[in-house]
Structure 1
Amino acid sequence: MSRLTRTADGPYAPPAPARELTVVSADGARLHVETHGPEGAPAIVLSHGWTCSTAFWAAQIRALAADHRVIAYDQRGHGRSPASAACGTEALADDLEAVLEAVLAPGEQAVIGGHSMGGMTVLAAAGRPSLSTRAAAVLLCSTGGSRLVASATLFPLPPGRARTWLTRRVLGSRAPLGPVTPVARAILKYGTMGPGSAPHMVDACARVVHACPRTVRHAWSRVLDRLDLDERVPALDVPVEIVVGTADRLTPPAHARALAARLPRCTGLTELPGVGHMTPVEAPDLVTSTLRALATAHLPARAAVPAVPAEPALPAEEDA
């Protein structure tokens, strides 16, 4: 799991959860789950992307937890969820199903937000009974269903073998990222964020990404390289909003447009000028307001009760 480095304060400092729990997935993998906000409030479940953690959603959690129950979980191997030998889209779908069944009351639905690999998690689970009955609506941020490596624009080369080969070597590198230095921030900004991203946004993303163990980063890069979820897209038969940045080098807008064309109930596609891949951090207000609007439109108002005090944090584990 990750060695987490938390920002001291500001909108991207992860807030203390009201409750922490461990959810066991279908194959026995243990997932770290946090809940924020009042019990009984409309539920929003957040699934983060490759190399990230629950900390990635800090801005959305802070804004929504006043009147929503926000549930965020660490993908296996990320954050405080231990790594597992099983890496693949079926495992991602199993994990999301396990979280939904563990945190939602019988018959309760939630709005589900997924960023990057978190969005792919939702696509992988499309058509499964748990997602069909538990998801009232979905927000997909900066994601795609297939051909991720071939379509990435990290290198200023025309599409083809050379660009795909270089992209695969960079994304699948086993090299340690090391400390968050000015050079590391500049590299991360170029690859994952828009050119106008503020320094505090870049720093927040760098701290999260650099905390991901290189073995986990490499293992899941291979899954993303082979990703093919196109056949699952039509099975996501719930209202879906899509957000993408026009400067996204990892999942360019063509992916979002392809999803919008194939989803049965796409209710909107928003392309954000100059924004890169890290939309929840780069455009926090837009992502937050979209989640809130989906909850208002598709979830019944519930009688909220005060949040319970946070449980003691589990001790951090060292990387393998």
Structure 2
Amino acid sequence: MSRLTHVTAGPYAPPAARRELVAESADGARLHVEVHGEEDAPTVVLAHGWTCSTAFWAAQIRELARDHRVVAYDQRGHGRSPAAAEYSTTALADDLVAVLKATLADGQRALVAGHSMGGMTIMAAARRPEFAAYASAAVLCSTGSARLVEEARVVPLRAGAVRTRLTRAVLGTRAPLGPVTPVSKQVLKYATMGPGSAPDKVEACARIVHACPAAARHGWSQVLAGLDLDRDVRSLTVPTAVIGGTADRLTPIVHARALAAALPQCAGLTELTGMGHMTPVEAPEAVSNVIRQLAGTARTKEKSS
């Protein structure tokens, strides 16, 4: 369970779910799942990133649930999903498949959107037949498929072996983050958000990130440090939109551009000027609009086929 909580007021406070359930993954890991909106509406599934939780999608859930059924889940070890024995890209794919099976009926399809590690989850699942059966389209938001540590710019040094070693040490630390303070918020803002991010957005992100247990944060950092999903990107054959922030230090915009070039069916690249890594919080309307538009296009295509 989390040590701290998300903000409880304002636009970044998560809305109450219509219902909650537990999805069981292939290795027995139990995943907290929330369902928002009307049950008979088109479905959007949201997968959050490293050190986050379903609360990270508060703005998208509130907007999209007006006319969509929105499914959000906590990745293993995050939020209300307990820690599990395995941290791997295989586990990420297994978990997403479990959530899709638990929330979609046979023949029902959904747009699947992922931020950061959530986007990597989608890529890891791309070659699974279950993903092909349930996913009509995808959105990859502030994410990358490989060379995450080498490309990251959270350490202000020239690219090279020294920066890579220091970045690996910083992102992989086992130390607890401690309470949210003015100093810790400034550190988080520098590392993960654009320089113009408003205080309420920084506060919302800090509360979520600091709530992630240190063991899960470290375990997933090791997976991300060795990530190589380039082959899986080329297997992601559903229409896929890509979003990136031009001021992203964790997954710089070079990743978004590479994904857009490699995808078999790229449905567009949206570059958000001045935004950092936390784009769903930093630019909630823009991210929601990309999801909404692609979901609508995918439904229209399915009806005409």
The TM-score normalised by the length of structure 2 is 0.97
- In 2, the alpha carbon distance for the partners of 1:15 and 1:4 equals 18
| RMSD of aligned residue pairs (Cα, Å) | 1.0
Match of 1:109 in 2: 109
- In 2, the alpha carbon distance for the partners of 1:196 and 1:124 equals 33
Q: What stretches of structure 1 of length at least 5 have no aligned partner?
A: 302-320
- In 2, the alpha carbon distance for the partners of 1:7 and 1:231 equals 38
Match of 1:214 in 2: 214
Distance 1:280 1:55, change over 3 A: same
Match of 2:231 in 1: 231
Q: Which residue identity does 1:66 align to in structure 2?
A: R
Deviation at 1:294, TM superposition (A): 1.3
Match of 1:45 in 2: 45
Match of 1:202 in 2: 202
Match of 1:129 in 2: 129
Aligned 8 A contact 1:54 1:79 in 2? yes
Q: How does 1:16-165 map to 2 (within 5 A)?
A: 16-165=16-165
- In 1, the alpha carbon distance for the partners of 2:134 and 2:231 equals 21
- In 1, the alpha carbon distance for the partners of 2:112 and 2:203 equals 26
- In 1, the alpha carbon distance for the partners of 2:31 and 2:177 equals 24
- In 2, the alpha carbon distance for the partners of 1:187 and 1:154 equals 10
Deviation at 1:156, TM superposition (A): 2.1
Match of 1:304 in 2: none
Q: Which residue identity does 1:76 align to in structure 2?
A: R
Deviation at 1:165, TM superposition (A): 0.7
Deviation at 1:125, TM superposition (A): 0.4
Distance 1:136 1:239, change over 3 A: same
Match of 1:298 in 2: 298
Matched positions, count: 301
1:180 paired to 2:142: no
Deviation at 1:299, TM superposition (A): 2.2
- In 1, the alpha carbon distance for the partners of 2:85 and 2:127 equals 25
- In 1, the alpha carbon distance for the partners of 2:4 and 2:63 equals 22
Q: Which residue identity does 1:183 align to in structure 2?
A: V
- In 2, the alpha carbon distance for the partners of 1:163 and 1:230 equals 23
Deviation at 1:155, TM superposition (A): 1.9
Distance 1:300 1:3, change over 3 A: farther
Aligned 8 A contact 1:242 1:260 in 2? yes
- In 2, the alpha carbon distance for the partners of 1:48 and 1:266 equals 21
Deviation at 1:4, TM superposition (A): 4.5
Q: Which residue identity does 1:206 align to in structure 2?
A: A
Q: Which residue identity does 2:232 align to in structure 1?
A: R
Cα deviation digits, residues 73-119 of structure 1 (max 9, x gap): 00000000000010000000000001001100110000111000000
Match of 2:271 in 1: 271
- In 2, the alpha carbon distance for the partners of 1:168 and 1:208 equals 22
Match of 1:9 in 2: 9
- In 1, the alpha carbon distance for the partners of 2:7 and 2:161 equals 40
- In 2, the alpha carbon distance for the partners of 1:3 and 1:61 equals 23
Deviation at 1:239, TM superposition (A): 0.5
Aligned 8 A contact 1:116 1:143 in 2? yes
Aligned 8 A contact 1:142 1:244 in 2? yes
- In 2, the alpha carbon distance for the partners of 1:255 and 1:7 equals 30
Q: What stretches of structure 2 of length at least 5 have no aligned partner?
A: none
Match of 2:284 in 1: 284
Aligned 8 A contact 1:31 1:75 in 2? yes
Aligned 8 A contact 1:109 1:299 in 2? no
- In 2, the alpha carbon distance for the partners of 1:158 and 1:201 equals 29
- In 2, the alpha carbon distance for the partners of 1:172 and 1:6 equals 23
Aligned 8 A contact 1:42 1:300 in 2? no
Q: Does 1 or 2 have the higher relative contact order (CA < 8 Å, sep 6+)?
A: 1
Aligned 8 A contact 1:110 1:299 in 2? no
